[in-house]
Copies of this chain bind each other. A is one copy, B any other.
Amino acid sequence: MVAIDSSAFHDRASTTDTVLAQSSALGGRFTFSLLREDASTFGRRGRVETTRGSIETPIFMPVGTQATVKTLSPQEVRATGAQIILANTYHLMLRPGADLIRQAGGLHAFMNWHGPILTDSGGFQVFSLAAVNKVKEEGVTFASHIDGSRWTISPESVIDLQLAYGSDIMMQLDHVLGLPAERKAIVDATERSGRWLDRAVAAYDDRDGAATRSVLFGIQQGGMEKDLRIASARRVAQTDVAGCAVGGLSVGESKDVMAEMLEISTPELPRNKPRYLMGVGSPEDLWHGVARGIDMFDCVLPTRTARNGGLYTPDGRITISKSIWKHVHAPIDETCDCVACSEYTAAYLHHLFRAGEIFGMRLASIHNLRYLARQMEEIRAALDAGAFATAFANFDARYRPIASRGTPGNPVSALGEQRS
């Protein structure tokens, strides 16, 4: 494992950077600084500072759903260049439980990751994974996907859960709707998400959140309805939160629709706060998201794809178990500095996947996370140099994504596929 000291990242801007806009929370212990704006796109270069370290944006955040980034050690995740990871409120409340994590000294101590952690509120999982769920204004009652036990969460209780975990960035509970749905249902869920945001903020204040190390982000919803997206974005923008998330995208809609939703709604979000596009995504979606003003991304896709033998390269995604790799006694990607590429050959990875060996999944996961981290480094460098559009065009001309399988049937299942 090549140890990567994050303080040595080439793109770490100096403290004398010009700050175009800024916001802060926790009495100044959490800040977002907007450092540069791209001339030809909505691309932004920024920095989030937390009590557990800085995050250069735009950033991709690896997902450690159950208090572990699947197959990897925290040191390995860090060595890919990760500056912040995600964990999941829904999964952790069911197993091992918030009380146990609090007793362990919080999630950072429990899982031995000492950088920043963002926790999803659980709204998405309740609506996509739980066997049964019933929404009332008060909150959501659902049956655990593990053992069928009944649970209720509310905008207030998910704040309590995330405070117990000790999350650096907490998300509000939102009402995530499976699509397609009738407009009336989308209006209803979007407005409820707005009311739940107000309750989340009130709960945060009530628990004296500003005295903790945790900040709260709001979530914009609105389905694929333009007017609802704009209204929801405005509502989040007017609320006293540390950052603004875009939820309910990358759920099976076309890339054009996702782009449109971002284009109409991100301009409504405050310039001086970080913007987080939830559950995205693929290498190409990250470029598209940055071009539309997004600062933060997360997705299980790179690690899940890796476990299935899908590896990102500058030319596109490859499938390492295919026989064309059997005799390739060279790295998957000569330009990559990850452990998988610097210490092993494509032929060895092919063998590990064919033989069903877990070490193959590990190497593939490291590679894909490092691939995305390097891509984000390239994006940040391009933004710094005022060359984002050119860099994006170069990527687009070369990278060949594998066409998505489509998402027939229950769109909520498609949600689950994308974000676990």
Contact = CB atoms under 8 A, between A and B. Distances in A.
A351 B72 contact: no
Contact of A327 (B100, B344, B355): B100
Given A327-B100, A329-B103, A70 B357 contact: yes
A344 B74 CA distance: 11
Interface stretch (A244-252, A276-284, A358-366): A358-366
Given A73-B362, A111-B348, A351-B95, A357 B104 contact: no
Nearest to A105: B329
A345 interface: yes
B357 A358 contact: no
A324 interface: no
A1 interface: yes
Interface string A357-378: 1110110000000000000000
A1 B326 CA distance: 31
A383 B313 CA distance: 54
A392 interface: no
A96 interface: yes
Given A100-B327, A326-B96, A329-B103, A66 B355 contact: yes
Given A71-B362, A104-B329, 11 more contacts: A1-B1, A66-B351, A66-B352, A66-B357, A91-B355, A100-B351, A104-B345, A110-B345, A110-B351, A111-B348, A112-B344
